[in-house]
Each structure stands twice: as structure tokens, then as C-alpha cells.
Structure 1
């Protein structure tokens, strides 16, 4: 699709929106239709994702993409009437007898740019929020997962009018043109590097953006916490989709005295999760040869700089893009795998002896999308929450905070800006519009010019009454 064709599509959507903004009934019907589309094409989507990766377990796509997406639609439909309600607020006393309220109104025509690692979820989850908020939308799935992008394009475009919801596919050039369109809001999921380019492309139009990026999400283990349980939960979150998850634990911080026990329990967990790892058809492949080579380069750099690498499975297979999990000990901050988001089955272990040292290290680096802390002591947990900043936090587990519909999901700083999921997603794609309703007789009429002596005295009295 050319740039001119994209512009024409957006203009048609904007015109259609202005003529008939979706109300409650159309929004509910569209959410139900989207749910039906996903259910009716579930097996096609699962197979397309599997082909994109070379291997992705059916159960993993169901558990990590299809089920959360359907549950998000269910949650939106259950709560949409309440979300749309006008909400009264207390008016300013000096503007009595006016009343004040706010209401959420749709923005117009929005753009959504999905991500390859969870193509179905990360393309359609923002669409759920956009539909619930009453917008028209154009979706652009990631070209790095072309088979799932093609299926999404077919099922969306055959089910919704072009002027309402439409899906476009294409490579980097189309992505550049897409992000430069004058959307009423642009939602992007992907890397921090590309996020900067998307934001720069949107800036000339002053298009507001939500950026769901990534970062190095730490898992901090307090020495008092059961290492076996921490190891199991960290590796479960780490190895979903072979580590190609934006909120996967990127590295572990713990005292050196826990290394031996942690390694033992990590090995046991991996063996339990993925017996016959390279044969059981449940351990995902790396998305592309380029990404496979990048991960191998991170390991090579770490080993050349003194790291100890523990392989937790059979030999890698570049042809199948199979990569066994690794633990990496004796790491330093200068190593490449401690400088960039790993996005693979490689888990560095950074040995810091105290909680204060761990928090200082996290705070000295770009703010992560997620932070995981393993401890039972409420006082220490609260101290860590006060003294760190991240997109989200899970205590004594990993990843699952993003599945909480009543919690916002989003990054901070280099890991992103803005939120979505549930009510927060509805707000992201809405204008929270302020409305004041003044009465025929109003005290504010006495404050109009000219400022007579009486009015000056009145203003003086008001000034005294409003002092803290």
C-alpha cells in the first residue's frame, strides 16, 4: 500500500467517524464480532504463529495470546456501560451554582502497530481498547511475523467495513509511512530503538503516542526467600516463547552465596518444564536467523570477557533456530548482555550482596518495563517499591501482572509511555472531556469588568478565602 493510499484510507475513516461516532450498541456489537472472529479462526492463527517461529507450541499460543485476548474482550463488554457514564465532580465554590462533570469521548481514527513476538495479542489487544472507546482504527501487524500478519489482515478486513476497522500489511517502508500519518492517536509496541523513530515520525502532526517498549527487567531474590520456588517461577516466566517476551525476567540479582543452589534448582525446573527439549514440540524456536545470531553474539562476548556459561539443554541447532537456555554467571555491567534487552533464553546472574546494592544498580540503569522481587518481608517489599520505579511489579512471581485487567500495563522512561488494558486502555483511546454547566444567575457575573471599588473589594475577599 502506498503512502497516498494510506492517507486516503485514514481520511475515509475520519470522515466516517465524524458522520457517525460509534455509540454503546455498535461498540458492544463490534467487540462481540471480534471475539467470534478470534474463536472461529483460532486454529488458523495458532498455525500461522507456529509457522512464523518455526515452532511455537499450540498450548503456548492459546495460553499467552488467545485466552488473554478473549478474556480482555469479556472484561470490556462487562464494564463498558459503566466506563462510558458521565461522572459528576464537586464544582468550585466561587462558581456556584454551576455544576461540573466529565465524560469520555472517542478520539477519532487511531493507528495500532503490533509486535512480532505475540502478534495476535499485541495487534488485537489495543484494538479491543480502541473499539471500547468508540474509535475507528487501522492496524499494522509486524512484518517480521508475516504469516500471522496475513491471517489477521484477512479475518479483520473480511469482517469489518474499511471505513471502520482495517488491517494493512507491509515492510519497513510502510511502517515509516504509517507512523507519519496524522492519526488521532498512535499506539506502538516494539523495541525502544524503533519506538524513538515512531515518536519522531508522529511529532510533526502532534499525534499523541502510546509506546509499549521493553527493557531489562530484573528479578531480585532476597537471601531469605526459598531459592527453589524463586528459580521455578523465574524460569517459567523467562522461557515462555523462548524468552522472546517484553516482560520476561532479563537478569537476576542475588547474593553470590545462592549461586550453587540457584543453578541446581534452575536445572531441575528446566528439565521438568521441557523434557527432551529439542524433541517435545513445546519449546519455541527463535523468530529468525538474525535474532539467533545476535543471541549467539551476546554469549560469545560474555564468555570472552570472563563469564561462566551453563547450558541447560542439548546443543543449539541454527537450522531449526533451536537455542537451549543458558545461565550466565560472573557477569559484569560492561558485557553486551548487560547493556541491551536480551529477548531470548539467556539469563545472566549478577551477584550483589545487599538489597541496597541491588536497588542502586537498578536505579542507575534505564527504567525497566517490569521488576520482580522475591521476599516475604512486607517492610522490605514496601521499601523496594518506594525506592525504585518501573512499568509494573510482580512480587514473588514473574510476568503475570500484565494479565490483571484492573491494573494498567505500560512502561516508564525508556521502557515506554502510556498505559492500556481494561479501564486504562479505554482512557488511553478517549478524551476525558471537562464540562461545566452554568446557570442563568451566577456569582461569576459580578466579576466581569469594569472593576469598580466594590468588585475590587470582592476580589480581595475571594483572595483571602482561597489562601491555604
Structure 2
């Protein structure tokens, strides 16, 4: 495997100039090939993702395929304009010059993708990298082996290895890849592994995009449609069995709506998945036994420290099944309020005023997402202005990931860099500044520094 990686790296390095100088039409043709393959092999992709963690076919289409297709179509529509050098205004001191921002490919890129949305979070960064004119090595997750094999087969059939190559395998493969010198690394995963990736990149001064996670709060204010908010939060939390980096991780509900919201939340879960969730065809499973054990231990720790199970709490280790679970009476000493849950358990706490909860949110690491539900604009603005997060949504969940015109990414602990649409193209590009000199007015400041020159320098200092 190591010899194969080194061989492909050498091959891709020889192709960098050809790729970086390729036209928009050539790059668009590559993206169209991905889209065509995706639509042609829809059923196969649904099958492999069900094999990996019983992901419902509808969720594969909505959360995996649709996201990739929309990203491809958006990129195709705008790529020609993105690739053009962007003109900038000229400062008075440099009159007679012209300034441009020229987008050039970063070069050799490594994409390390996660298991929770294994297709979407592999191919969307790849779309951006191809659009920017890079060569790519893609390392999909070993925790979803069937999907990873599908991705490798797809890429092998569509691309020459000098352009895009896929390497499967466990953490040892990722470790070896990270030891090599890349021009950019795009990693999606946990903050803990993100630190490892960043440390490895630092040895080569390689730029990174880290799409991480963290504890994303949701806040239900006093002025809200309780049933509608409950349905949206239930969908955002339990989609993909809670294994979503931007899922609501814990919830504050205003005391005015606390009990009615709990009732509405339980009703929405039954509406989505029926009275026996384990038999629902629309509910995925935890990806493997190790992650099941981790989430189950969070649940047991919370119960031992006084948390009450409002509904759910049913587990089946053999099936990696954890039912949609809501906990009340949660306290800060519980691990479930300290660690990212990444599963179908939702701790809920009541609050009286927004001042305390924003202070609580600020006391922790900055989350990837923050959700606020209220029809009161003043309340919403207070929450947004007094917290920091990578993304925020008012009166819904998860939808920011599908907005092609907005940057997606975290802040500090929850991530570095942005992706999505034009921001993804820029992330895989070097924004090279170009100044074209047409009239050299600066010659008036050349030495010797006569009285006249010194007067001009003082004038510039004062007025420009």
C-alpha cells in the first residue's frame, strides 16, 4: 500500500501543471461524469449504505445524493465566473496600476472523509477540488467499508490516477498519507483527530480545512410555535440516528413552553417512526459496536447522576440500536453535557432568561452550529449577537448545509476554513494577488530624498 501511495503521488505531481491550467469546460466535464455515475448507480449506493448502518434509502437520496448533485450543478453554473481574475479597486497611492485576484490551484490535495455521511462528505470536497484544478487523493472511512468500496469503484472508472485516486484502509493508511507533503488537506471528523491532522500538516506548512463538530445548542424561546419547533428539532436530531455533526446536541426550552414542548417532541417522534421505532424502516443504526458502547455509556452515566428518561432509552447492542431518547433533569457534571453525543440522545433543560444561557454557551468551546426558535426578532438577535458559532439557523435545523451561497464551517474547536459553493472553490485555491503597473508615479519618491521628495512623503503620510 505504501509503495502504491508513493507511486500515485509521484504520478499526480507530474500532472499538476496540466490540471491547474485546464479550462472551465474540462473541469465541468469531469463534474458531469460524477453526476451521471451517481444517477446511474442510485440503487447500488442505497444498498451499500444500508449494509453499512441500515441507512434508509430516502435519507441516502436526501442527505447524500441530493447534496452532491446540487453542489455539482451549482459549481457548473458558476465555475467560469469563479475562475476569472477578480478586479479590485486601486488605492490612491498606486494610481496607474491595476489590481487583480487570480485563483490558481493549490496543487496536490488530500481529502480524508468521515463515516456518518460517507458519500456526501467525500464527494462534495472532491467537487470543489476538481473545480479549482487540483490533483486529489481521497481517503474514505474504513468504518463504512461498503460505501468506501463504492466510492473507489466510481472514482477508478471515471478518473485517471494522475488526477484522482482513492485509498481505502484503516488509520495506518491515513497516518502514512499525513506523513507525505501535500499542498492542502481537507479533513472532516472529530476535533480530537483534527488536532492530529493539523499537527501533521504543520510539519510541511500545509494549509488545512478542518470540518469538525462539537456541542451544538438549540434554544426554544418563549414566543414560538411549539409543535412546529418540536418537529423540526426532532428531524434534525434523529436523522441518521443523530450521527450528524450539525445536529442539535442539547436543548434549552423556555419555562413557559417546557412541558408543552416535551409533549410535542414525543408526539413528533411517534409520527416519524411509529410506536415501535426498532421496526421502522426510516431509522438508521449506530455505525458500529464501539460507537454504540460510547453513546450507551453516556446514557448510563447521566441516569446514574439523576437524569430522567422522558421517553426512549431503549438499547440493543447486537443491532447497534439506540431509540430516540430525551433526557430531563440534566446537570453539568454529566458526561452527556460535556462530550459531543453524536447519537440519538437529546438532553433538555428549561431556562427563564436568555442572559444565563448565552453565558453558559460562551463558557464552552465554540460550536459548529447554533439553532434558535422564536418569532421574537429581538430575542433571536440577542442570542445570535451574544454567542459565537460556525453556523446559525433561526427557526429550523440542518438547512444551512444545503445553502450554496453561504460558507459552511466551524470556528476554532469546531473547525478551520469554509466549504460549500464558491467558498469551497476558494478553499482549494490560492488567491494570488497580481498588480499590473502601467504608470509609475512612485518614481517621484525615489532617492535622493530632496526637500521636495520629503515634502511629498509628509503630505502622503498626512492625507493618504
TM category, shorter = over 0.9
- Residues 263 and 379 (structure 1 numbering): CA distance in 2 closer, same or farther, change over 3 Å? closer
Secondary structure of the residue that 2:158 maps to in structure 1?
coil
Aligned to 2:183: 184
Worse-matched range after superposition: 412-421 or 344-353: 344-353
CA contact (8 A) 1:215 1:341 kept: yes
Question: In 2, Cα distance between the equivalents of 1:238 and 1:309?
Answer: 16
| 2:98 is equivalent to residue 99 of structure 1 | yes
Query: Match for residue 391 of structure 1?
Result: 390
Match of 2:142 in 1: 143
- Partner secondary structure for residue 319 of structure 1: helix
The corresponding residue for 1:464 is 462
Query: What is the aligned partner in structure 2 of residue 288 from structure 1?
Result: 288
Aligned mates of 1:458, 1:316 — CA distance in 2: 78
Normalising by structure 1, report the TM-score: 0.96
Residue 252 of structure 2 aligns to a residue whose secondary structure is: strand
User: Is the partner of 2:298 in helix, strand or coil?
Assistant: helix
The reply to whether residue 452 of structure 1 matches residue 434 of structure 2 is no
Q: Secondary structure at the match of 2:409?
A: coil
2-structure distance, mates of 1:306, 1:256: 20
Q: CA deviation at 1:257?
A: 4.7
Alignment of 1:320-335 (within 5 A): 320-335=319-334
Tell me if the contact between 1:256 and 1:351 (Cα under 8 Å) persists in the aligned partners: yes
Matched, 1:442 2:440: yes
1:375 equivalent to 2:380? Answer no
Query: Residue 306 of structure 2: SS of its match in structure 1?
Result: coil
Task: Report the number of matched residues.
Answer: 462
- Which residue does the alignment assign to 1:48? 48
Other-structure match for 1:165? 164
The TM-score normalised by the length of structure 2 is 0.97
Distance 2:9 2:150 in 1: 22
Aligned-residue offset at 1:316: 2.6
1:270/1:312 contact within 8 Å kept: no
Write the distance in 2 (CA, Å) between the matches of 1:237 and 1:205: 39
**Residue deviations 1:145-203, cap 9 Å, x none?**
11111111111012100001111111111111122321111000000111001111111
Matched, 1:366 2:334: no
Aligned equivalents of 1:121, 1:240: Cα separation in 2: 15
Distance 1:457 1:405, change over 3 A: same
SS in 2 for 1:272: helix
For 2:93 and 2:202, the matched residues in 1 are separated by 39
- TM-superposed CA distance for 1:451, in Å, is 2.1
Render the CA deviation track for 1:233-291: whole Å, top value 9, x for unaligned: 10010010010000111010123453321221111101100113222311101110111
Residue range with higher mean Cα deviation, 123-132 or 80-89: 80-89
Q: Is the contact made by 2:19 and 2:134 (CA closer than 8 Å) also made in structure 1? A: no
**Using the alignment, how far apart are the partners of 1:95 and 1:427 within structure 2?**
27
Distance 1:211 1:181 in 2: 18
Which deviates further from its counterpart, 441-450 or 240-249? 441-450
Structure 1's unaligned 5+ residue stretches are none
1:49 Cα deviation from its structure 2 partner: 1.0
C-alpha contact (below 8 Å) 2:372/2:394 kept by paired residues: yes
Q: Does 2:269 align with 1:299?
A: no
Change (3 A) 1:19 1:75: closer
**DSSP-derived class of the 2:257 partner:** helix
* Paired residue secondary structure (1:278): helix
Structure 2 distance, partners of 1:20, 1:304, is 58
Aligned mates of 1:99, 1:406 — CA distance in 2: 28
Q: Is the 8 A contact 2:299 2:336 kept in 1?
A: yes
Structure 1 residues 41-70: Cα deviation after superposition (integer angstroms, max 9, x where no partner): 2222211111111x1111111111001110
Deviations 1:344-363 (A, max 9, x none): 11000122221111111111
The answer to whether the 8 Å contact 2:19/2:135 transfers is no
Cα contact 1:267–1:312 (8 A) shared by 2 = no
Give a deviation string over 1:197-245, Cα, whole Å, max 9, x none: 1111111000100000011111101122122221111001001001000
Q: d(CA) in 1 for partners of 2:393 and 2:178?
A: 32
> Residue 308 of structure 2 corresponds to which residue in structure 1?
308
Aligned residue in 2 for 1:272 = 271
Shift of 1:19: 4.3
Query: Shift of the alpha carbon at 1:404?
Result: 0.5
1:401 alignment partner in structure 2: 400
Shift of the 297–353 alpha-carbon distance from structure 1 to 2, 3 Å rule, reads: same
CA contact (8 A) 1:372 1:398 kept: yes
Q: Distance in 1 between matches of 2:370 and 2:410?
A: 11
Shift of 1:450: 2.8
Distance in 1 separating the partners of 2:18 and 2:113: 28
- Matches of 2:440 and 2:95 in 1, distance apart? 7
State the distance in 2 between where 1:189 and 1:228 align.
Answer: 33
C-alpha separation between the residues in 2 aligned to 1:457 and 1:395?
A: 56
Partner residue in 2 for 1:432: 431
What SS does the aligned partner of 2:317 have?
coil
